Amino acid sequence: MKTSTSRIGAKAIALLFIALTAGSTLHAQDGSDGVRFGLKLSPNLGFVQTETDGLKSNGAGFGYTFGLMTEFPIGSSGNYRFATGLNLNALKGKWKTDYKYVASANPNDPILTKELETDVRLQYIELPLTVKLMTNEIGYMRYFGVVGFGTAFNISAKSDEVVPQVDGTRTVDGSPIVSTFEEKKRQNVQDDIALFKASLIVGAGMEYNFSGNTSLLVGVTYNNGFTNILDIDGAKAKAHYLELTLGVFF
């Protein structure tokens, strides 16, 4: 049975609380200033890497991420930071499968193959756990690199897919008899998606300081999934995306 959305949200909030507490402890220990909060809105280009015979990737799709950014200084220089937050992450996944069928019960009819395409829109509550390495200020600019892990919990999965209309089974070899294929829109497929997704996060970018604590952030982030996103027997796939990170710290 799937974990309810409320329980997913509670887990994500609990993890965020732990991260904030840990970051606050670091801040209290080194005595430096510089805890920052901000907002991000980031378009992404996502794709699925399949690892199962008969299941193939089928291109990329556009999604987005938005949410809260939080940073805590590590040490007294201000150049090293623990960066986390709480995001709503929407991804697009596309794949296709080889489906074998026959057109009638006639044992002389050949076995046919059709590629069934599936486009899935996935939504996750994401908690990034990363380390941010920053340069000293050069003019009004600071440059940075980011590396760490992403933890995410699936809260929604909708698919557009082509489904065979099976009229029976050919007794001679057990092949399904299909009269037609139907395209179905916005099907709820959350039961076929794994609850938890983990990933490696690598990125780089720059910040422009307007005045005081207000800074504009622009960067590029690659999120490399390393856990199976499918909850289907015998099927394995990983989700990756490239993100243009746009944010403002206050």
Q: What is the DSSP letter of 79?
A: S
pLDDT-derived band of residue 32, with 50, 70 and 90 as boundaries?
very low
Cα distance from N-terminal residue to C-terminal residue, the chain: 41
Number of domains in the chain: 1
Q: What is the CATH number of the domain that holds 220?
A: 2.40.160.20
The mean per-residue pLDDT over the stretch 174-193 comes to 92
Higher pLDDT, 30 or 90: 90
The mean per-residue pLDDT over the stretch 57-65 comes to 93
Q: H helices within the chain, ranges in order?
A: 5-30
Q: Retrieve residue 152's tokens.
A: 């995410």
| Share above pLDDT 70 across residues of the chain, in percent, rounded to a whole number | 87
Residue 12 confidence (pLDDT): 47
pLDDT tens, 184-242?
A: 999 999 999 999 999 999 999 999 998 888 999 999 999 999 999 999 888 899 999 99
pLDDT-derived band of residue 25, with 50, 70 and 90 as boundaries?
very low
Residue 81 confidence (pLDDT): 95
pLDDT-derived band of residue 76, with 50, 70 and 90 as boundaries?
confident
The mean predicted confidence, pLDDT, of the chain is 87
Residue 33 confidence (pLDDT): 52
CB within 8 Å of 37: residues ≥ 6 apart? 68, 69, 70, 249, 250
Pairing mode of beta strands 60-73, 36-50:
antiparallel
Q: How far is CA 137 from the centre of its chain?
A: 32
Q: What is the DSSP letter of 218?
A: E
Give the whole-angstrom CA distance, residue 239 versus residue 197. 9
Residue 181 confidence (pLDDT): 93
The residues facing 117 across adjacent strands are 96
- Domain membership of residue 193 as a residue range: 5-249
